[in-house]
Structure 1
Amino acid sequence: MALRGPRVWLWRWRRNPLKRRADRVETWVVLGVWTFTVFLGLLAGTTVTRSVEDGLARERVEWRPLVARLAERAPGTAPENDRARAEQVWATARWTAADGSEHSGRLRVPAGSAAGAPVTVWTDPEGRQVTRPVTESQARVRASLTGAVAGLCAAAVPLVAGRALRGRLERHRIDQWAVEWSRFGPMWGRTAG
C-alpha cells in the first residue's frame, strides 16, 4: 500500500522547486480535459434532449387516431362478463387514410372480437400505422434519459483521451527519472576521502 500524506487541494497548482516541465504540462492537460469533458457532455446532452423532445412533440401533433375495422374475427374467446379485461390478441384491420388510400395492418384487439368491429389505429400523415404517441411527461422523461446517456458517452471520449495522454506523460517522466538515476545514482556510493 502506498503511503500518502494529507490531501492538499489544488496541489497541482502550487509552487514547488522540484516541479518539472512535464508536471506543469500534466497540470494543464488535467484542467483542459476536465473542462472539455464537462463542456462536451453538457453540449451533447442538451442537444440530444432537445432533438428527442422536438421529434416526440412532432409525433404528438402529426399522428392521429383513425377508426379501423377488423378484417377477420379475432382469435380466442372473450369473457362474457368483463369485456375490458379480455385477453389482447393480434388481428388484421383495415382503414382509410385522410388522402383516401386504403391500408391494413395487425393490431392488438380483445380476443373474440367480431369481423367488422371498430378499433382505433394510430397513423402518420401518410396513413401508415404507427404506435400511440407518448404523452408530454413521458416524452420529457424519455428525452432526459436519452440526453443523459448521450452526454455521458460524449464525455467519456475526452476522459479516455486525457487518460491516455496522462499515461504517456507518466511514461515519459519515468524514462527521464531512469536516465537521471543512471547518471547520478552511482555517485551516491562514493565517500569523500
Structure 2
Amino acid sequence: MPTGTYAKKRLWRWRSNPLRRRDDIVEAWIVLAVWTVFAVGGAVAALVTAHAADDVFARQRAERQSVRALLLSDVPLTATAAGISSDRRMSTVRWTASDGSTRTGRTLVDTGLKAGSRVTVWQDGQGRLTAAPPSSMEAAIESGFLGTAAAAGLAGLVFGAGALARWRLDRRRVDEWGREWDQVGPRWGHKTS
C-alpha cells in the first residue's frame, strides 16, 4: 500500500468527510492530546524525577561519613532455613561521633568477625548510624530507573484517561445509533409472503 493512501486512511478524522461526525473530531483531538501529553509530559516527568533523585543521592553522599567502629560481640557464620549463609548480620558496635562523644548502636556487619574487630560504619550529620550512601554510578542508575518509572506512571494515567474518554464516546455513539435505528428500523419491517 502506498504511504500516501495509508496516511489518508490514518488521518481521515481530520479531513472534511460527509461521514465524519462530531464525535469523530472529538476523538481525534483526544488521541492527539493523549500522545502530546505522553511525549512532552513523560519526558518532563522523567527528567524532573531523575534530577530530584540525583540531588537526594548527592546530598546523602555529602552528609554521610564513614567512621571506624569497634565490634562489641562475635558475629558467627549462620545458615538460614534454606541452608544459605548470609553475608551480613546485625550486631552492636561502638564508635566516636564527629562531636567526640562515644556512641553505641546496631548495624549490619560482615559475618565471621570476632568481638574487638574494627569495622567501617556510616553516620549521618547527627552522629546516628545509617546506611552507606550510593556511589555516583549506583545513584545514576537508580535516578534513571526512578525517572523511567515516573514516565511510565504518567503514561499509564494518560493512556487510561484517554481510553476512558474514548470508551465514553463509543458508548454515546452506540446509544445514538440505537436511537436512529429505532426511527428507521420500523420502516424496514415489512414482510414478504
The interval holding the TM-score normalised by the smaller chain is 0.7 to 0.9
- Structure 2, unaligned stretches of length 5 or more? 79-86
User: 1:45: Cα distance to partner?
Assistant: 1.5
Query: Do the aligned partners of residues 112 and 19 (structure 1) sit closer, same or farther apart at CA in structure 2, a change above 3 Å counting?
Result: closer
CA distance in 1, matches of 2:75, 2:131: 20
Q: Is 1:12–2:50 an aligned residue pair?
A: no
Aligned-pair Cα RMSD in Å:
2.2
Query: Do the aligned partners of residues 107 and 188 (structure 1) sit closer, same or farther apart at CA in structure 2, a change above 3 Å counting?
Result: closer
CA distance in 2, matches of 1:44, 1:126: 33
Q: Is 1:133–2:133 an aligned residue pair?
A: yes
SS at match of 1:72: coil
User: 1:171: Cα distance to partner?
Assistant: 0.9
- The question of whether the paired residues in 2 share the 8 Å contact of 1:88 and 1:111 is answered with no
1:1-193 equivalent positions in 2, closer than 5 A: 8-75=9-76, 88-103=88-103, 104-113=105-114, 115-188=115-188
User: 1:170: Cα distance to partner?
Assistant: 0.8
Query: Do the aligned partners of residues 23 and 141 (structure 1) sit closer, same or farther apart at CA in structure 2, a change above 3 Å counting?
Result: same
- The question of whether the paired residues in 1 share the 8 Å contact of 2:90 and 2:106 is answered with no
SS at match of 2:10: coil
CA distance in 1, matches of 2:59, 2:122: 14
User: 1:187: Cα distance to partner?
Assistant: 2.8
CA distance in 1, matches of 2:69, 2:164: 59
* CA shift digits 1:136-170 (9 cap, x unpaired): 11111111011111111122112111111111111
Work out the number of aligned pairs and report it: 175
CA distance in 2, matches of 1:129, 1:175: 65
Q: Normalised by the size of structure 2, how large is the TM-score?
A: 0.81
- The question of whether the paired residues in 2 share the 8 Å contact of 1:37 and 1:156 is answered with no
Task: Name the stretch that deviates more: 139-148 or 103-112.
Answer: 103-112
CA distance in 2, matches of 1:167, 1:106: 54
Letter in 2 for 1:45: A
CA distance in 1, matches of 2:90, 2:180: 77
Letter in 2 for 1:97: A
- The question of whether the paired residues in 1 share the 8 Å contact of 2:92 and 2:107 is answered with yes
CA distance in 2, matches of 1:76, 1:145: 34
Query: Do the aligned partners of residues 136 and 165 (structure 1) sit closer, same or farther apart at CA in structure 2, a change above 3 Å counting?
Result: same
- Structure 1, unaligned stretches of length 5 or more? 1-5, 78-86
- The question of whether the paired residues in 2 share the 8 Å contact of 1:91 and 1:109 is answered with no
Query: Do the aligned partners of residues 89 and 170 (structure 1) sit closer, same or farther apart at CA in structure 2, a change above 3 Å counting?
Result: closer
Letter in 2 for 1:117: S
SS at match of 2:94: strand
